[in-house]
Amino acid sequence: MKPTHQLPYLGLLLFSLIPSQLCEICEVSERVHVQLDPLLDTMIQPKYTSVTQSADVLLSLRLIGIQNQNQTIIEALSQQVRNTVERRGLDLSSGQLALIILALGACHTHDETFIFNQHLLGHLENKFKAELENMEEYDGNPLTNYYQLSQDVLALCLFNRTYSTTTVAKLFAPENKNYYLGGQFSVDTGAMAVLALTCVSRSLKEQPKAQEEDLESIENHIRSLVKMILSEKKENGLIGNMFSTGAAMQALFVSSEYYSESEWNCQETRNTILSEISQGAFNIPAAAAQILPPLLGKTYLDVTKDSPCTYASGNSPLSIPVRTTVTPTYSPSLISVHYSVKINKTYSIDVTVPSGSVFLDVMKEAQKENGTLFRFTVEQEEWGPYITSVQGLTANNNDRTYWQLLSGGKPLSQGVGSYAVHNGDNLEVLWSKY
């Protein structure tokens, strides 16, 4: 097991200087900060609907250096996160707990005491161990997924906790099946793994007796994963899709030594993201929270820097916009949508919903029409509602099964609570394996 250690002062200084010029090039300039207001407006809500949405937002706001303004909002978010821990305790998944630790531990605030008093890092070590045990028993399938396992390793690494670097080196080999969903490489999963592996690599380099074999394997993994991420770059600069691009940007910021400048035009990516923001694309708090830090030159590796978080360029931090409520002055028109459930057979129905409805609204309307064929259950996650079962058939990590959303036969990059449907859409939920 890797011993608990504290980086020497020189190591911390070098660690703080590592982010490359790519961060500065991609960072949104102060004169166009107003373009980020929709993200902030989405993130600031009086109540969050999942156990980790408040942690997502708290982590993002602290990273970008907004904590010195709007202190009431920050404290309210912090309190929501602490209340979640006290209410849910060990019922949290490993990734949820890791995210909470990152949010509470960011920027050296009083919340660090809460992490210590609640023994959160010790609980995370145990949950990570349980993930590994499940993988041994169920053909390499974790209790959660590799995105959450990467969050686990990142949190344990940043806060100098115990883990096996040899296990990490084996666990995150690029050929592992857990990087793929339906045969497609998951960019955000790969990106979170790059962040975690980069932290482990830097930590190993600071040890007087570094495990050279592990370090070499980990660096090779980073190099391969970065190439896989870049292979998913689209012509408009998005990487994977617009919701995976934020994680990909963070991963590429911290791994610039593994690719050439010509392989990624970060300005193009930034500009496309700003265009998507102006069109209301990031209307889920978790999505807004993930894209905001890289737009301001920050990554999750900044969580435990030696000094409190400050705005990347040293200028004034963003201001949270004043929320306004707009009352609709018209009644929405109705649209017709074809909806199908596909398991071994296909069950279809045509439903009518108001224009502006999302996929979930269609499923609810279908369930009203026929509660046997179209019944479903849903859980609220940080990225919005997630379909857990249809017709009583429940998704299972150990079996690598899930309910895939499609429109016109094509998989959706948005969730069931955010994909806006249109008249004549042909929507499907498909029982699938990943």
Query: What residue numbers does the annotated binding site for cyanocob(III)alamin cover?
Result: 144-148, 188, 241, 290, 386-387, 403-405, 412, 434
Question: How far apart are alpha carbons 310 and 376 in whole angstroms?
Answer: 45
Terminal Cα-to-Cα distance of the chain (whole angstroms): 31
3-state class (DSSP) for residue 77:
helix
Contacts of 307 (CB under 8 A, 6+ apart): 108
| Nearest-10 Cα torsion for 233, 236, 242, 245 | 40
In this structure, the strands spanning 426-433 and 334-342 are parallel
Give the count of beta carbons closer than 10 Å to the beta carbon of residue 203: 20
Q: Can you read off the two tokens belonging to residue 378?
A: 């849903």
Yes or no: say if 402 and 394 are a contact pair by the CB < 8 Å rule: no
Binding site: what residues are annotated?
Answer: 144-148, 188, 241, 290, 386-387, 403-405, 412, 434
Tokens linked to 101: 């630790």
Backbone angles phi, psi at 404, to 5 degrees: -90, 140
**Tell me, what amino acid is at 430?**
L
> What is the enclosing helix (H) or strand (E) of 82?
helix 71-88
Instruction: Residue 129: name the closest of 86, 190, 84, 171 by CA.
Output: 171
* Nearest by Cα to 401 from 200, 182, 197: 182
Name the residue with tokens 């279908």.
366
The answer to whether 178 and 142 are in contact (CB under 8 A) is yes
What is the distance between the alpha carbons of residues 359 and 288, in angstroms, rounded to a whole number? 20
Q: Which residues pair with 420 in a beta bridge?
A: 358
Cα(285)–Cα(11) distance, integer angstroms:
35
